[in-house]
Amino acid sequence: MTARRFFLLSLLSAALTADAAQPNYQVTIDGRTLQGTPLQQSTSQLLLLARDGSYQQVQLNEAENLRRLPGTFRSYSQSEIRGRLLREFGRNFDVSGTGNYLVVHPRGKHDQWAPRFEKLYRSFQVYFGARGVQLKPLRFPLIAIVFPTRSDFLRYAQRQGVSTSRSTRGYYSHQSNRIILYDVTAGRPSAPWHENASTIIHETVHQVAFNTGLHSRSAAPPRWVSEGLAMMFEAPGVWDARKHPRLTDRINRQRMEVFEEYRSTRPKGQLASLVTSDRVFHQNVLQAYSEAWALTFFLAETRPRQYTEYLLRTSQRKPFRAYSQQERLRDFTACFGDNLTLLEAHYLRFIDGL
């Protein structure tokens, strides 16, 4: 590394905590030009927040022509990102703008796909606005990619280095800040569409939460928090309370059934394990997801002020630092009290009574 480049990279560290006045840099890697603002750096790597909202990991020994550009960092415009997406995905896809979203979808399928993401974004705003939470404005247009078949979806995920399972129908990528999914009906008009709808809801909630300040991409919350919120919104009474106003409409029936089956073998004191560690998600995924939904639903229904306070608390941690068990427990008890045994009893009684 040249002395000039080392000096310039040292200057980048001053931009890591700024927001409105973030500087804009340009770098060339293998002939590809990137523009972005630095988030984190080491002696060998630089993490850039790119102008399309993605995270770009730059190997410094491969970087060329690193320089600061005039002005401050800002997102590409929606029209600029739309043009980039059209070039990326080609003539078999349309790119539809819906206000806050750019949705890449098979040609001629605008009405089937594009409005749904925007509707969920607005439902999310209404839900938290009614609870007194002022969400942050979006910094970037939100992007969703819809592939026509599972094979197309799997090829894209593999190119992006994303591992999938047989049950994966879509995902939100922290790295690209995109939703990726596929049409499980394979375009058959008579096929049931509810699985597509559930995937859109779940992944859109992830994306919107990570882009409006409820979660932080650089300091992710415990897994039960992000997954529980997304699963809670899958119930029609949450994302469309005007048409579905009853408590029973807000219950995620699929997760409730799994939790009821799990209830008889659920270990005593499981609440503390869920709060302080993500390891339960590596032991039994279905049970962990059902518990994440059940705890989230209990807190949102019975302790809404403390729940939103907790969401914001977990989003305001220092970036790119591990979240220890002690810190997780401290943040949880600061919002819900330190008597976890009593809270767990109230929680289970509430779920059992649904």
Q: What is the mean pLDDT of residues 293-302?
A: 98
What is the pLDDT confidence band of residue 63, given thresholds at 50, 70 and 90?
confident
What lies within 8 Å, CB to CB, of 346 at 6+ separation is 298, 302
Highest mean pLDDT among 15-24, 185-194, 310-319: 310-319
Closest C-alpha among 222, 289, 281, 223 to residue 256:
289
58-62, 220-224, 228-232, 278-282: range with lowest mean pLDDT: 58-62
Q: Is the predicted pLDDT of residue 255 greater than 60, yes or no?
A: yes
pLDDT at 5 over 60: no
- Report the pLDDT averaged over residues 165-189: 92
**What are the residue ranges spanned by the domains of the chain?**
3-72, 78-211, 223-352
200 pLDDT band, cuts 50/70/90, is very high
Answer with the residue of higher pLDDT: 136 or 32.
136
Region 253-268: mean pLDDT is 95
Average pLDDT over residues 271-282: 96
pLDDT at residue number 10: 55
Exposure on the CB side of residue 25, measured as CA atoms within 13 A: 26
Q: Which of 218, 229, 142 is nearest to 180 (CA)?
A: 142
pLDDT at 16 over 80: no
Average pLDDT rounded to a whole number, residues 119-137: 96
Indicate the class that CATH gives domain 78-211: alpha beta
| Domain 3-72 and domain 78-211 have a common topology | no
Looking at residue 21, its pLDDT comes to 75
Question: Can you list the positions of beta strands (E) in 77-121?
Answer: 93-97, 101-106
Region 302-328 average pLDDT: 97
Listing DSSP states for 13-77 in one string gives GGGSS-STT-EEEEEEETTEEEEEEEEEE-SSEEEEEETTS-EEEEEGGGEEEEEEEEEE--PPP
Question: Which SS3 state, helix, strand or coil, does residue 318 take?
Answer: coil
**Mean per-residue pLDDT of the chain:** 92
Q: Which CATH number fits domain 3-72: 2.30.30.100, 3.30.70.1050, 3.40.50.10090, 2.130.10.10?
A: 2.30.30.100
What would the mean pLDDT of 49-62 be, rounded to a whole number? Answer: 93
In this predicted structure, the answer to whether residue 259 has a pLDDT above a threshold of 50 is yes
The residue-averaged pLDDT of 158-173 equals: 94
pTM, to two decimals: 0.93
Distance of CA 104 to the CA centre of its chain: 18
What is the model's pLDDT at position 2?
54
